[in-house]
Amino acid sequence: MDLYWKKFAVLDLTHGGIPIAKSLAAAGNEVSGIDVYRTVKPETLLELEEKYGIHCSKTPLPASEFDLIVAPVHLDLAYPMLVEARAQKKNILSHHEIVGEILKGDSRLSGIKTVEITGVKAKTSTASLLADMLSRQFEVVLHTSRGLEYWKAGASSLIYKGLSITPGSILVAVEKTFEAGFRPDFFIFEISIGGTGTADLGILTTLSPDYGIANNTSLASEAKLQLIRNAKPGSTLLINARAEKALKAAKKDQIKVLTFKDHFNDQFSKTPGQIADFVLETEPGTSALSVSSELVMPSDLLGSCDLSGSSMPADSSKYQASPTSSGSGIRFMHRGKQILSASLRPGYNVSAYRTAFVAASAAALELGTKPEAIISAIEGFKGLSGRMQEKEMNGISLIDNSNSGMDILSAEKALDYALLKRKDEKKEDIILVLGEEASQVCEGLPPELVQGFVEKFGAKCKQVILVGERMKAVNGKNIFYARNLPEGLSKALEFAGGDDIILSSVKCFR
């Protein structure tokens, strides 16, 4: 597609529209940026106009003035400029599509393989595990909600922090990487609600639970299928075998399609005639629970972006972890034949990473990683901060499930896990910290869902501490309120005894 000397309207400067507008303007196009949600600071809009020549508006402009309209997939279809553009049969590109077109024209990316990972769950953990595995043979740059990281020999260093996982942020991630002097063998991008169509390997972790976007006029699952429908010829797609909609969309020429599934639980609904290429199984005697002796303070739970276990030495392919006290282990099968097995370290809920283990391992093999490198990464893994990681806080057991992707279903699963841990380890009570630090984080945590959660499960907890201004609308017994996660954890420590469990499930940036 010719992206030069055209008139573009880039809608939504809040969610990744700014880097898109800058890139299009730098290519010689006439660009207008529409601050749809009116949340961009005036000084930022002024800089866009004076420094980059981007005309900015907080109100809709006539669609007839533009050659191309660029809009995010989550924007309400009833937004006036979109209504006009459709009526005038204007070409409307998603943020994903325009980023793909911009990346295709970036000669610096020649020779570098890219991986894009989308889905509802397990994106960050899959991407992080894959980076660790690949880095034992290659140089990798990883962009996730945890930050932009450089990976080599099983260890990571932070390049830049503060980017979202909107498609527009990929442009910034690429620029920051080259500015820092890195030229990796692989880029791995965690990306929200779709793909750009430029990946050599696209990974779809999950399509469920599905949810409405664009003011509930469409489903997120449909938008995520961009990863498949826009896949470039000669690329490979790795798809969760549960995602029937995705498998149907993947039947296209010149695209290699691989599937994966796990047998950690009995929730897998078999697709008739579908046999997964890669399967993950637990070894006999596996327990879902393991206990960590790691000590943390409330302040340690903010801003951490290190992958636990990332300090593995370069010769870690020789590393073999001793079996954990719970005997946890996994087997990795390829079309019915076992190709590797690994024992797992204690310190996190194994079942919370089942999708990541199988998807990352399958991707690593497909990209040329040796099995021993995959085993080393798995056996050195301790879980990701905020994703069902077990710790101790001032001597109290803590289950840390606070992250940007946390939703009410995740909170329910975390509570089930805490209840099981309480029974197995003869703990006393559970103090639950639940809520959101910002309603803008991945569409927030709706107070009405929290109200239903409290009514259904609140009695199972000694205390419930709700985080965030919107949670003040939620009522129930034994409820306290906190402004943010640190305050919520501090309150939890006040209530907790030595044999209690603190469960932290707050939607927040980490």
Domain boundary among the residues 76, 95, 114 is at 95
pLDDT tens-place string over residues 230-251: 999 999 999 999 999 999 999 8
pLDDT above 80 for 329:
yes
Give the model confidence (pLDDT) of 355-374 as tens digits.
999 999 999 999 999 999 99
pLDDT digits (tens, 9 = 90+) for 492-504: 999 999 999 999 9
- Is 434 inside any structural domain? yes
Residues 198 and 342 in one domain: yes
Based on the fold, state whether residues 207 and 320 are members of the same structural domain. yes
From 24, 13, 28, 22, select the one nearest 52 (Cα to Cα): 22
| 40 phi/psi in degrees, rounded to 5 | -75, 135
Total domain count, the chain = 3
Most confident of 87-91, 260-264, 341-345: 87-91
Claim to verify: residue 54 and residue 18 sit in the same structural domain? yes
Name the domain boundary from 356, 380, 404: 380
- Residue 271 is given by DSSP the state P
**101 inside domain:** no
What does residue 411 show for φ and ψ, rounded to 5 degrees? -65, -40
For residues 183 and 202, what is the distance between their CA atoms, to the nearest angstrom? 21
- pLDDT, tens digit, for every residue of 298-309? 444 443 333 333
| pLDDT range class, residue 377, cuts 50, 70, 90 | very high
pLDDT tens by residue, 146-186: 899 999 999 999 999 989 999 999 999 999 999 999 999 99
List pLDDT tens digits, range 108-154.
Answer: 999 999 999 999 888 999 999 999 999 999 999 999 988 999 999 99
- Percent of the chain predicted with pLDDT > 90: 69
Predicted confidence at residue 410, as pLDDT, reads 87
Are 226 and 344 found together in one domain? yes
- CA triple 87-88-92, angle to 5 deg: 90
Q: Which pLDDT score is estimated for 294? A: 39
For residue 151, being part of any structural domain is answered with yes
Note whether 81 and 133 are same-domain residues.
Answer: no
**DSSP-based three-state secondary structure for 338:** strand
Q: Which residues contact 153 (CB under 8 A, 6 or more apart)?
A: 135, 136, 312, 313, 314, 316
pLDDT of residue 27: 94
* pLDDT score of 347: 78
Predicted local distance difference test score (pLDDT) of residue 264:
54
Q: Are residues 175 and 214 in the same domain?
A: yes
Residue 1 lies in a domain: no
Report if residue 2 sits inside a domain.
Answer: no
Q: How many residues does the chain have?
A: 510
Q: φ, ψ for residue 215 (rounded to 5)?
A: 55, 40
Residue 267, judged by CB atoms within 10 A of its CB (0-12, 13-18, 19+), counts as: exposed
At 355, which helix (H) or strand (E)? helix 354-366
User: Amino acid identity of 181?
Assistant: G
Span 203-210, average pLDDT = 90
pLDDT at position 23: 97
- CATH number of the domain to which 86 belongs: 3.40.50.720
Is 36 within a domain? Answer: yes
- Print the domain residue range for 57: 7-95
31 is written with which tokens? 């660009």
Claim to verify: residue 46 and residue 190 sit in the same structural domain = no
pLDDT in tens, 269-290: 444 445 799 999 876 544 333 3
> Do 440 and 359 share a structural domain?
no
Assess whether 53 and 148 both reside in one domain. no
Residue 100 lies inside a defined structural domain of this protein: no
> Do 403 and 328 share a structural domain?
no
Tell me if 311 sits within 8 A of 332, measured CB to CB: no
Q: Does the pLDDT of residue 510 top 80, yes or no? A: no
Backbone angles phi, psi at 479, to 5 degrees: -105, 135
Residues 192 and 296 in one domain: yes
Q: Which residues contact 381 (CB under 8 A, 6 or more apart)?
A: 129, 132, 307, 308, 309, 344, 345, 353
Asked, for residue 477, whether it belongs to a domain, the answer is yes
Query: Residue 503 belongs to a domain with what CATH number?
Result: 3.90.190.20
- The chain-wide mean pLDDT, for the chain, equals 87
Regarding whether 223 and 344 lie in a shared domain, the answer is yes
**Residue 274, domain CATH:** 3.40.1190.10
Q: Please state the rounded mean pLDDT for residues 306-314.
A: 33
Rounded Cα distance between 259 and 256, Å, is 10
Among the listed residues 184, 183, 193, the one whose alpha carbon sits nearest the alpha carbon of residue 219: 193
Q: What is the pLDDT of residue 292?
A: 35
Residue that the structure tokens 């490979």 belong to: 236
DSSP calls for 441-464: GGG---HHHHHHHHHHHGGGSSEE
User: Could you tell me the pTM of the whole model?
Assistant: 0.81
Q: 176 near 184, Cβ under 8 Å?
A: no
| CB crowding 393-402: b at 16 or more within 10 Å, else e | beebbbbbbb
